[in-house]
Amino acid sequence: MRALLRLHTPAAACALAASAALASSASSEPSAAGRPLFRFGVIADIQYCDCDDASNFAGTEIRKYRGTLEQTRRAVEHWNALREPSAACILNLGDIIDGQNAGGYGAGLTFDGPQSEAALGRVCGALSACKAPIYHAVGNHELYNFDWAGLRARLQMPEAGSVVTEGGSDAAGADAAAALRPVSWQPCKGWTFVLLNAYAVSMEQPRALPGYRAAAELLQRHNPSCYEAVVAGKSGVNFFAGIEDPRLLRYVPFNGGLGEAQLSWLREEVRAAVARDDRIVVLSHLPMYEPAASARTLLYDADEALALLQAEGGGRVVAVLAGHLHRGGYAADESGIHHVTLQSPLNYRDSFGHVDVHADRLELIGAPGGEFISRTLPFPAKAARCPASAL
């Protein structure tokens, strides 16, 4: 994977390179006058495409596809201007380009050929000016444009500014040709970030892989008419037709799941962070808490993931940051975890920002003059840890 200096580094060395880069802009000790311990930039659902503004499939929103490229440039200027401290890293929470670039639907049908390479090149060109390392989540729209192996190669180009990317069909990374792994790291002493792969279980991968088979089984069981239409290659399908139980609305092809292997990995990462007495921030393209999003935009296994964080996190999981639902959303669950769905630059002016991490709270701060909603997220109370001798 890529290090901050744009050098080719093996995957095992990437975390070390990232740690060295982050150390220069983070401090474990709070300072006077409310100086943050560290800060990081955030953006989600850039979804750039060189096409005219248009509505989504449901006709509920207007998307300004060309304008997101200039917003990305302004986002990089915003992040680069941060001082005392500078940004430790940037989190791009998925859907970096739009699926229409592949030429299979919408404005893409009018293209002379696929525009995926050109579109990704333009966005990565804008991101290449960023001084901080960038962590990329993978959303459904990347998977409309590239297969897993191709996406991995492209997001690790020097132009993408990547330190670590996630994704793939197997959370354990057994299929190296197809998989990009979920990752955790410590941007500052006392903090653990966990970047999840929301599409380990999804229809957007080769049919021979276990992630596809698991997704197909879920859709066939919970949304059979949609499954049959997708397998038959039909276009213009209303994925939600015939669903009466709102709990089943998540089972559509543009969503995905973590899968059992990744849930087990997540459990161990949370336990390790708790053992260090770290605070934890979880990152995903897909939300996992309906009040902060919608029933139509959740992880397939959102209930299992949320229960895991609540049970194992013990008050140490501060926030889950996600994208996917362009209008954004916010809610705190019963355990005090803040669930923030970031607004998309497709729909909102200068919709990007940064997070200041303090000793008692996160401050989500939108860019000046933009429509990105700023929020104060106080930490939940830490639950008492059981001594090892009592276990």
Query: What is the pLDDT at residue 57?
Result: 72
Residue 29 banded pLDDT, cuts 50, 70, 90:
low
Query: What is the pLDDT at residue 314?
Result: 81
Query: What is the pLDDT at residue 148?
Result: 87
Taking Cα atoms as reference points, which of 325, 351, 360 lies closest to residue 339?
Answer: 325
How high is the mean pLDDT of the chain?
86
CATH number for 38-163+176-378 (one of 3.40.630.30, 3.40.1190.20, 3.40.720.10, 3.60.21.10): it is 3.60.21.10
Query: What is the pLDDT at residue 177?
Result: 31
Query: What is the pLDDT at residue 181?
Result: 76
The pLDDT tens digits for 37-46 are 999 999 999 9
Helix axes 259-275, 302-313, angle to 10 degrees: 20
Q: What are phi and psi of 367, to 5 degrees?
A: -65, 145
Per-residue pLDDT for 22 more than 70?
no
What residue segments make up the domains of the chain, in order of their start?
38-163+176-378
Per-residue pLDDT for 193 more than 80?
yes
Mean pLDDT, residues 254-266 taken together: 97
SS3 assignment for the chain: CECCCCCECCHHHHHHHHHHHHHCCCCCCCCHHHCCCEEEEEECCCCECCCCCEECCCCCCEECCCHHHHHHHHHHHHHHHCCCCCEEEEEECCCCECHHHHCCCHHHHHCCCCCHHHHHHHHHHHHCCCCCCEEECCCHHHHHHCCHHHHHHHHCCHHHCEEEECECCCCCCCCCCCCECCEEECCCCCEEEEECCCCCECCCCCCCCHHHHHHHHHHHHHCHHHHHHHHCCCCCCCCCCCCCCHHHCCCCCCCCECHHHHHHHHHHHHHHHHHCCCEEEEECCCCCCHHHCCCCCCCCCHHHHHHHHHHHHCCCEEEEEECCCCCCEEEECCCCCEEEECCCCCCCCCCCEEEEECCCEEEEEECCCCCCCCEEEECCCCCCCCCHHHC
The pLDDT tens digits for 82-107 are 999 999 999 999 999 999 999 999 99
Query: What is the pLDDT at residue 60?
Result: 79
Entry pTM: 0.88
Query: What is the pLDDT at residue 347?
Result: 95
